[in-house]
Amino acid sequence: MVLKEIIQRTPNIYNSNTMKGQVGRGYQQKTILKLNQMEVRKTFDDIDLQQKFEENGYVIVPFLAEDEAKTLVDFYLENRLEQHSSGLHSSILHDDPVFKKGSFEKITAAFELEAPKYLTDYVPILAQYLVKEAFTDDRFKLHLDPALTDESKYTAVSIWCALEDITKENGAMFVNPKGHKNVYFARASGPPIYFSEQIQSETAVKVIELKRGEAFIASQKIPHGSMPNNTDKPRIAANLRLIPREADNLIYYKELNGDLSIYKVSQDYYKHAYADEPGSRPKDEGLIMQIEQASIKSGIESMHLH
């Protein structure tokens, strides 16, 4: 199937400025694809939060009660494994499938009670603990996470909630405010896209310190990273990623040649298929589009010019 045929059957994810020939497996055509820079639906019910979110790419709000945060911490500590006792790690990559799915359910259940107080008809697709263990001296560099849906029409969000007080000493997140405004290209699961040292300077980023139960709600396109954890306790956060109810849940899978294949998957894909085989190609899901590496590189270069 050629790209033109695929586009006709899919959401309007990309504009296509096409040179002669055909694309698809085995074809040689070069295609430049750019995300439509069109108005998207609102993310927040509150006008002030919506304006701050559009301007900066994130907001900070009260989220979980202390007892709810403690319940999530206790569940993590009761199930941690020795091989996950150092560095930065996610529960979705945990070796115990029962714990992975239990984490997904507990985080989703807690967050689903609070998220509708802020977000306009969003549904959860991925839930995980994000833990930076004690004395992890690595600074997780400024980077971008993968796209989760058609970003020309919809805004995917990430709710990052502090389950204990989080400061610049124990692994606080930092962001490049307003950086989401320059991200108009598809991003795959797997190794993240990093930024130059100049963009990562102290003057270009803002450290996000949170009290237990506070949440950082951010665009999936916001550049972010995290500080080292210089303390003797793990920094434990819970994360839920959501998309608008009417949006498609999409997996952007990176091919060996750098091209992206986009698959439409079920809402519970990350809980089951992805948790069972993280990073693998979707097996029983429909391919809806393929994007050449050149268009992605062009988007990254354009972003770095801003």
Residue 83 has pLDDT above 70, yes or no: no
Whether residue 26 is contained in a domain is answered as no
Residue 166 has pLDDT above 60, yes or no: yes
Whether residue 25 is contained in a domain is answered as no
Whether residue 12 is contained in a domain is answered as no
Whether residue 56 is contained in a domain is answered as yes
Residue 184 has pLDDT above 50, yes or no: yes
Whether residue 280 is contained in a domain is answered as yes
Task: Name the pTM for this structure.
Answer: 0.84
Q: Please count the other Cβ atoms lying within 10 Å of the Cβ belonging to residue 148.
A: 26
pLDDT value, residue 306: 62
Residue 10 has pLDDT above 80, yes or no: no
Per the structure block, which two tokens stand in for 225? Answer: 């990273």
Whether residue 115 is contained in a domain is answered as yes
Q: How confident is the model at residue 84 (pLDDT cuts 50, 70, 90)?
A: low
225-278 pLDDT tens trace? 999 999 999 999 999 999 999 999 999 999 999 999 999 999 999 999 888 888
Whether residue 30 is contained in a domain is answered as no
Contacts of 36 (CB under 8 A, 6+ apart): 12, 13, 14, 15, 152, 153
pLDDT (mean) for 36-60: 88
Split into its structural domains, the chain has a count of 1
pLDDT value, residue 160: 98
99-118 pLDDT tens trace? 999 999 999 999 999 999 99
Residue 28 has pLDDT above 90, yes or no: no
What's the rounded Cα separation, in Å, for the pair 63 and 298? 38
Range of the domain at 60: 40-247+263-288
Amino acid in the structure at residue 302: S
Whether residue 31 is contained in a domain is answered as no
Say which CATH number the domain at 190 has: 2.60.120.620
